[in-house]
Structure formats: structure tokens, C-alpha cells
């Protein structure tokens, strides 16, 4: 993303405070629908986060009244004569953006409100945790316009909520509310709209102050567990555990436990 870009023409905003990075989808006039520029900017920013060791947690949220209403169908219609070849290239870039988010070694917290539709579901499923305002509506949406899912939805959702529920959401993409999303396991916390920003920051700060090396090892273990046998997984756990015991955070954690005080983790 060029430094010459102004805030007005950025489709994604970026901020870092208290070791917490915030990526904000910024097409509120278009319900934060995804277009090629937004994809490229998400890729750039997630790569920036990945190489910045000072960042210990990431918030993904949306500007305006809606988190994300899916892909930009107006863009697709405008370029309909170039489909499907152009869409394949675009979705491959989308896949890179989602993969970057998913593979970050730090906790990723999606904070959503208004509406989460289509590829917005993929983004929040790629995050580690999700907090939602009570008024949020969710839908897979794709089949309503004759499309199949993208952005890793068919990978993430069966693992989060099971195959049968995923098939239901994709074949019968009715709206469901934040409480139902929490019951399904898509959302961790539901809070009043007016408390969303405050509670998001509270959770993110707790994550950023945690044992982030242990978090990173836990993420890798969980993400790789579906492709491993039990024997392979417990062997990987042993190596991850051993790595954690070599960290300053481990010494701090044990010392604090013994001295009955709150640990001060540094992520190393």
C-alpha cells in the first residue's frame, strides 16, 4: 500500500496502539464489500503485522454500520464479460489475504457489528476469536446469488460447527443473529452495540499482555491437528511444550505462580 495514499482512498485502515494492531475495513459507502484493492491492502497489512515483533494481538473490524456485506457484486457485474478467468485470479489473491490472517502467530480477534455476509464469514472464521454486537446479522449469502463459497469458508466452517450445520448455512442461507452465531460456535462473545469497542479493546489487551509465544505454539498445534494422527499430534505437542520452557515467559509465569503475583509476560 503506497504511503502516498490518503485516508479517503484507502479501503483498509491500520493502527497500532498498546502492542495491538487494528485492521479496519474501510468501504462504508459500499457496506465494506470486498474488491481487489481491499484484498491487496489486507495482504500488505497482514504481512506488515507478521514481521513486526512489537505487535502482540490483532483486531479486525469494520468502519460504518456494517462489518462486511460480502463481495462487491457490482464489481463482478461490471466485469462480467471477463469472468470467470478474472475471478479466479482475484480469489487466489483473496486466498492469500485469508491465509495471511489465519497464519499470523499472534491472537486475531474479529470484532463485528451490523452484518456479516458472504466472504465476511470467511474472514471471521479465519480469526482465532470473535466478539459480536447483539444486533449483528449473519448469513452465508452465496447461493442466494448463484455462487459457491470462497475465502476458505468450506475449510473453516466444517471445523468450527460441523459438516451438517455448514451445509445448512450454505444451502439455506437465512439470516441468523449473534446469539445463534454464539450457539453455533462462530462467535465467542455477544455484547450490546454500545459496549462493542470497549469490550473488544479489553479482550485484545488481555491477549496482548499474555504469553504470546505459548499462544503461537497453541495456534500451530490446533491448526495442524486435523491433518495429523494422534501420535503425530502428541509428538508435536511435546516439541511445542519444550520450546515454551525455553522462554523468559515460562520463567516469569512459574515465578509469578510461586510468588502469588500476576505475571508480566514479554512474548519471548
Band (7; pLDDT cuts 50, 70, 90): low
Give CA separation, 44 vs 32, 41, 109, 207, 239, in Å. 18, 5, 18, 23, 32
Say how far apart CA 25 and CA 48 lie, in whole Å.
Answer: 16
Band (266; pLDDT cuts 50, 70, 90): very high
DSSP, residue by residue, 43-68: HHHHHHHHH-TT--EEEEEESSS-SB
Band (115; pLDDT cuts 50, 70, 90): very high
Supply the pLDDT for residue 217.
97
Give CA separation, 230 vs 107, 166, 214, 236, 247, in Å. 25, 25, 21, 10, 26
**Residue (of 165, 112, 111, 104) closest to 140 by Cα position:** 165
Half-sphere exposure of 9 (CA within 13 A, CB side): 7
- Residue 69 and residue 31 in contact, taking contact as beta carbons nearer than 8 Å: yes
List, in sequence order, every residue forming a beta bridge with 190; answer none if it has no partner: 132
Say how far apart CA 26 and CA 246 lie, in whole Å.
Answer: 41
Say how far apart CA 82 and CA 84 lie, in whole Å.
Answer: 6
Q: What is the pLDDT of residues 55-80, one digit of tens each?
A: 999 999 999 999 999 988 777 777 67
Say how far apart CA 167 and CA 88 lie, in whole Å.
Answer: 23
The answer to which of 21-25, 46-50, 145-149, 190-194 has the lowest mean pLDDT is 145-149
Half-sphere exposure of 46 (CA within 13 A, CB side): 27
pTM of the model: 0.92
Strand blocks (E) in 192-229: none
What are 23's three cell numbers?
485492521
What are 237's three cell numbers?
505437542
Say how far apart CA 101 and CA 103 lie, in whole Å.
Answer: 6
Say how far apart CA 75 and CA 81 lie, in whole Å.
Answer: 12
H helices, E strands: number in the chain = 11, 9
Mean pLDDT score, 142-148: 91
Amino acid at each position: 500500500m503506497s504511503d502516498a495514499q490518503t485516508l479517503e482512498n484507502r479501503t483498509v485502515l491500520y493502527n497500532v496502539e498498546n502492542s495491538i494492531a487494528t485492521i479496519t475495513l474501510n468501504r462504508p459507502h459500499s457496506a465494506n464489500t470486498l474488491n481487489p484493492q481491499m484484498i491487496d491492502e489486507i495482504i500488505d497489512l497482514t504481512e506488515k503485522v507478521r514481521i513486526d515483533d512489537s505487535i502482540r494481538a490483532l483486531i479486525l473490524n469494520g468502519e460504518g454500520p456494517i462489518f462486511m456485506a460480502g463481495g462487491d457484486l457490482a464489481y463482478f457485474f461490471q466485469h462480467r464479460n471477463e469472468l470467470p478467468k478474472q475471478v479466479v485470479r482475484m480469489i487466489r489473491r483473496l486466498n492469500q489475504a485469508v491465509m495471511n490472517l489465519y497464519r499470523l502467530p499472534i491472537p486475531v480477534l474479529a470484532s463485528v457489528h451490523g452484518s456479516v455476509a458472504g466472504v465476511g464469514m470467511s474472514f471471521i472464521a479465519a480469526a482465532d476469536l470473535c466478539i459480536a454486537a447483539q444486533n449483528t446479522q449473519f448469513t452465508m449469502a452465496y447461493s442466494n446469488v448463484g455462487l459457491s463459497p470462497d475465502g476458505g469458508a468450506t475449510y473453516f466452517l466444517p471445523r468450527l460447527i460441523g459438516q451438517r450445520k455448514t451445509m445448512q448455512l450454505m444451502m439455506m442461507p437465512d439470516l441468523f443473529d449473534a446469539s445463534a452465531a454464539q450457539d453455533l460456535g462462530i462467535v465467542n462473545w455477544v455484547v450490546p452495540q454500545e459496549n462493542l469497542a470497549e469490550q473488544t479493546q479489553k479482550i485484545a489487551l488481555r491477549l496482548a499482555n499474555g504469553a504470546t509465544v505459548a499462544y503461537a505454539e497453541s495456534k500451530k498445534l490446533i491448526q495442524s491437528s486435523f491433518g495429523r494422527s494422534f501420535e503425530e499430534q502428541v509428538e508435536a505437542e511435546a516439541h511445542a511444550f519444550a520450546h515454551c520452557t525455553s522462554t523468559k515467559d515460562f520463567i516469569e509465569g512459574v515465578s509469578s505462580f510461586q510468588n502469588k503475583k500476576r505475571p508480566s509476560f514479554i512474548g519471548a
